[in-house]
Homo-oligomer: A and B are copies of this chain.
Amino acid sequence: MNNKLIVGIIGAGRIGKVHAASISNHMPQVQIKAISDVNFKAAEDVAKNYGIPFVYQDYKKILEDSEIQAVLICSSTDTHSPISIEAAQAGKHIFCEKPIDHNLNKIKMVLEAVEKAEIKYQVGFNRRFDHNFKAVRNAVKEEKIGDVHIVKITSRDPQEPPIEYVKVSGGIFLDMTIHDFDMARYLTGSEVTEVFAVGNCLVNPEIAEAGDVDTAIVTLKFENGAMAVIDNSRRAEYGYDQRAEVFGSKGSVAVSNDTLSSAVISTQEGIVSEKPLYFFLERYMSSFVDEMSQFVESILNDTQTAVNADDGLKAVLIGLAAKKSLSVGRPVKISEIG
């Protein structure tokens, strides 16, 4: 037991459970020593399921445990940056769910704390670890499609979140598109310089009342001359639509949706295949396992994390630029933000 990486989980909600399960089922080299949640009962339930010995209401107990080497920050978004800073100061390696914060200054304070503490920091952009998107990235990296000219990302949720969530989400660009902004950077390997966003409320008028849009198209320009376009909807009736295409000087690479089976039923009604996997937990389950594995490996082998705090910052910068672009009705340079 004494050779294992010892971790604590802060936050026992949906995503905290996912990480607890991933580690328990797939990472014999890791021990989850403690879990905390402001809702103690929730933490207790997860602890029971996965044999986690210590349960707390206060995450500080986890930070105070000197045996714990790394923490997973899975609590609500507004706590990400303060807990990140405290955890860094306590010398813990940190896996933090996205986004680090909606506020640039707070993110920068996290970056400083991480740098000072010389700890590993990984942001939860799990889609980089997805089998499909990795295949696209690999095709780009191996120069199978040459220089990147155009990136297209389709990212549509099966259903809008509750309005109460929409109100505190930071808006579609910081809540939903932020994954796509990170994806665009990941697929191209280049930095975004300018953003233009159009958006509308076409799915649910309550979203407009909450000051947000539910349908959007965002155009990005990159340092290397490439361009990207992301299209988002909060509600695709056929399920969770997650596709990407990169087009370059030698050709293109594209990925389509995953389904439960490859069954095709042919009748008088038509040729019918299965809808995309509906829910992000089904669709991205193995990517959650893989991102956690790599976080663990980066600690055990003292290598760089696959998605660092700066990646967390960059995605928020693009999100803020998109937000501004939508509000002012013109393209916004990243250099105008922060």
Which residues in A have some Cβ–Cβ distance to B below 8 Å?
25-26, 28, 49, 131-132, 134-136, 139, 144-147, 149-150, 152, 154, 156, 196, 198-200, 202-203, 215-217, 219, 221, 225-229, 231, 233, 235-238, 241, 247, 249-258, 260-275, 329-331
A215 touches B149 (CB 8 A): yes
Q: Which residues of B sit under 8 angstroms from A237, Cβ to Cβ? A: 146, 249-251, 267-268
A265 touches B200 (CB 8 A): no
A262 touches B268 (CB 8 A): no
A238 touches B261 (CB 8 A): no
Q: Which residue of B lies closest to A252 (CB)?
A: B266
How far is A150 from B258 in the complex, measured between Cα atoms in Å?
A: 22
Q: Which residues of B sit under 8 angstroms from A269, Cβ to Cβ? A: 272
Q: Which residues of B sit under 8 angstroms from A241, Cβ to Cβ? A: 252
A271 touches B262 (CB 8 A): no
Q: Provide a sorted-by-A list of 5 A–B residue pairs whose CB atoms are within 8 angstroms.
A: A135-B263, A147-B202, A200-B225, A252-B265, A252-B266
Contact of A144 among B134, B250, B267, B271 (CB under 8 A): B267
A261 touches B132 (CB 8 A): yes
Q: Which residues of B sit under 8 angstroms from A145, Cβ to Cβ? A: 265, 267
B273 touches A270 (CB 8 A): yes
B198 touches A262 (CB 8 A): no
A266 touches B249 (CB 8 A): no
CB A32 to nearest CB in B, in angstroms, measures 14
How far is A221 from B64 in the complex, measured between Cα atoms in Å?
A: 54
B265 touches A251 (CB 8 A): yes
A225 touches B202 (CB 8 A): yes
How far is A195 from B200 in the complex, measured between Cα atoms in Å?
A: 15
CB A19 to nearest CB in B, in angstroms, measures 15
CB A189 to nearest CB in B, in angstroms, measures 16
Q: Are A131 and B260 CB-contacts (below 8 A) given A215-B149, A252-B265? A: yes
B238 touches A271 (CB 8 A): yes
How far is A131 from B259 in the complex, measured between Cα atoms in Å?
A: 10
Q: Which residues of B sit under 8 angstroms from A144, Cβ to Cβ? A: 265, 267
A249 touches B203 (CB 8 A): yes
Q: Are A249 and B132 CB-contacts (below 8 A) given A258-B262, A272-B271, A330-B331? A: no
CB A136 to nearest CB in B, in angstroms, measures 6
Q: Which residues of B sit under 8 angstroms from A139, Cβ to Cβ? A: 263, 265
How far is A176 from B159 in the complex, measured between Cα atoms in Å?
A: 37
B215 touches A196 (CB 8 A): no
Q: Which residue of B lies closest to A244 (CB)?
A: B263
Shortest beta-carbon contacts, A-B, top 6: A251-B267, A135-B263, A135-B261, A238-B266, A25-B25, A270-B272
A255 touches B265 (CB 8 A): no
A271 touches B273 (CB 8 A): yes
How far is A131 from B149 in the complex, measured between Cα atoms in Å?
A: 29
How far is A262 from B259 in the complex, measured between Cα atoms in Å?
A: 11
CB A225 to nearest CB in B, in angstroms, measures 5
